Amino acid sequence: METSIILEFGIILLCLLAGARYGGYGLGLISGFGLLVFAFVFHLAPGKPPIDVLLTIMAVLACASTLQTAGGLNVMMRFAERLLRRHPKHITLLAPITTWSLTVMCGTGHVVYTMFPIIYDIAIKTGIRPERPMAVASISSQIGICASPVSVAVVSMVAIMAKAKGLDHPPSIIELLAVGMPATFCGMIVAALWSMRRGLDLDKDPEFQAKLQDPVQREYIYGESATLLDKVFPKEAYWATWIFFAAIGIVVLLGAFQDLRPLVGPVGKLKPLSMNLLIQVMMLSAGALILVLCKVKPQEIPNGTVFKAGMVAVISIFGVAWMADTVFEAHFTLLKEGLAGIVAAQPWTYALVLFIVSKLVNSQAAAIAAIAPLGVSLGVDPKVMIAFLPACYGYFILPTYASDLACIGFDRSGTTRIGKFVINHSFIIPGLIGVGVGCCVGWLMVKVLY
């Protein structure tokens, strides 16, 4: 039995490693191959795909992608740019705060792409080493996912813990955010403060100064300004933004006050509407209002980056979570006996596993979908799972994620880069600081709040 478990986990690992080479979409598809092997070779009954998680993600995705098509995301980013240009000397601190805030509001770190050229332009024109604000801004855009009420990772966590058996009071979205927001914000701030003095100043960097001797390189480095300030958005873009914010506000309010939720169910057995269903209803309704009132062309919605990235996440989570659940369910008793004691005695091991798996799958949501159900099954304290939520962001270890690669590409000065040994890249230390401090603050927060 132990040999078969080792082989099965080896297959999961191989599927994760192979799938990661093809991105999130490939990860979901290759996980299906793992299921095929488990069924035909090991004769394991396929587990249950996380339907509730996937439906919640799709509802949030439907609303956010409609918001982007209506121009609402651009409205938010223009406000962010106006703040940055008013205080250019503080770009290293304000840039990550901006990208973290945009992610918290929008639920996706992919909004950072438009901000990269703006951050670069402000930094290079102010004489600040672009690596300082850009690298930590990229990290902050991803760590902010753990603080967003509409991010795939957070809604997945809410849905998973709502279905947990044996919990008298499954943690609500408010309890997750009460820890996730201050934890990730503190991690981001400490990473930004460290970044303020990283690397040589541009006037003392011989490599950068050598590039400036070439007129062509100098023109390329300083180039034209990138800005959203001269853009004119229709009034419908502003309406879409307010509708989206109102929907988020209602979700948070109803999550905080259960008595405000509608009572549903058969007569005599009425109970408050669950949070995962509430999120689905509110997000679909907000998306419908944006679609109807803001003159959105439905055929353009699938072309947006939010929709494309979200659907990749859906496929990835579907395959990975289903494959992992198949093995966990088949050997649940044995795994619980072997791992429950270790995790209970050393809670940090849960965070370590979550951190490593997130790198293998290159997705916070996919890591949570694979590991959080196991944590619930093993009896991991929900407080511990909430405290270590920032640990689901570990894919910065190697600079292969889209936002990090985009950040490198937008830094025309060449200061944001991948080092000679690959692992010594511009994102590794800000990432470790952000996640490490986030987990420590999260641990302190649960000690204080619960």
Please check whether residue 23 lies inside any domain of the structure: no
Query: Distance between CA atoms of 409 and 132, rounded to whole angstroms?
Result: 15
pLDDT at 116: 86
Tell me which residue range forms the domain holding 169: 49-449
Alpha helix segments (H runs only) across 112-234: 112-126, 131-143, 152-162, 173-195, 206-212, 215-222
The number of angstroms, rounded, from the C-alpha of 342 to the middle of its chain's C-alpha atoms is 28
What is the pTM for the complete model shown? 0.75
Question: Residue 272: beta bridge partners?
Answer: 263
Structure tokens at 57: 């993600």
The total number of structural domains that make up the chain: 1
Residue positions counted in the chain: 450
Residue 162 CA to its chain's centroid (Å): 20
d(CA 392, CA 138): 16
Residue at token pair 């873009």: 237
Distance CA 277, CA 282 (A): 9
pLDDT in tens, the chain (450 residues): 577 888 988 898 888 778 767 766 787 898 899 999 999 999 999 988 878 767 877 887 888 889 989 998 888 888 888 889 999 999 999 999 999 998 888 777 777 777 888 899 899 989 999 999 999 999 999 999 999 887 878 888 888 887 665 556 677 788 889 999 999 999 999 999 999 999 999 999 999 999 999 999 898 888 777 677 778 889 999 999 999 889 888 887 887 677 888 888 888 888 888 776 888 899 899 999 999 999 899 999 998 877 887 787 788 778 877 887 788 778 767 766 666 666 667 778 888 888 988 876 777 887 888 788 878 877 788 888 899 999 999 989 877 676 787 788 888 898 998 777 768 889 999 999 999 999 999 999 988 877
Cβ proximity of 86 and 306 under 8 Å:
no
Environment class of 292 (CB within 10 Å of its CB; exposed 0-12, middle 13-18, buried 19+) = exposed
**Can you read off the two tokens belonging to residue 83?**
């703040």
> Can you give the pLDDT at residue 424?
83
CA distance 334 to 340: 10
Distance of CA 343 to the CA centre of its chain: 25
Task: Let me know if residue 41 belongs to a domain.
Answer: no
Asked whether residue 33 is assigned to any structural domain, the reply reads no
Predicted local confidence at residue 198, as pLDDT: 93
Q: How far apart, in whole angstroms, are the C-alpha atoms of residue 91 and residue 89?
A: 6
CA distance 284 to 278: 10
Q: Taking each helix axis from N to C terminus, what angle separates 305-330 and 364-377, rounded to the nearest 10 degrees?
A: 30
Specify burial of residue 252 (Cβ count, 10 A radius: 0-12, 13-18, 19+): middle
The DSSP result for 45-65, as a single string, is PP----HHHHHHHHHHHHHHH
* CA–CA distance, 319 with 107 (Å, rounded to integer): 22
- Establish if 19 belongs to a structural domain: no
pLDDT of 344 reads: 66
Q: Is residue 15 part of a domain?
A: no
* In a domain? residue 30: no
Rounded CA separation 414/412 (Å): 5
CA distances 367 to 29, 178, 316, Å, are: 16, 21, 10
- Is 208 a member of any domain? yes
Query: In this structure, what token pair is assigned to residue 164?
Result: 């947990």
Question: Residue 159 is encoded by which pair of tokens?
Answer: 């849905």
Residues 435 and 391: beta-carbon distance below 8 Å: yes
Does residue 272 sit in helix, strand or coil? strand
Kindly state whether residue 44 falls inside one of the protein's structural domains: no
Distance of CA 221 to the CA centre of its chain: 31
Euclidean distance between CA atoms 389 and 381, whole angstroms? 13
Q: Coil, strand or helix: which one is 420?
A: coil
The dihedral through the CA atoms of 399, 405, 409, 413 has a sign that is negative
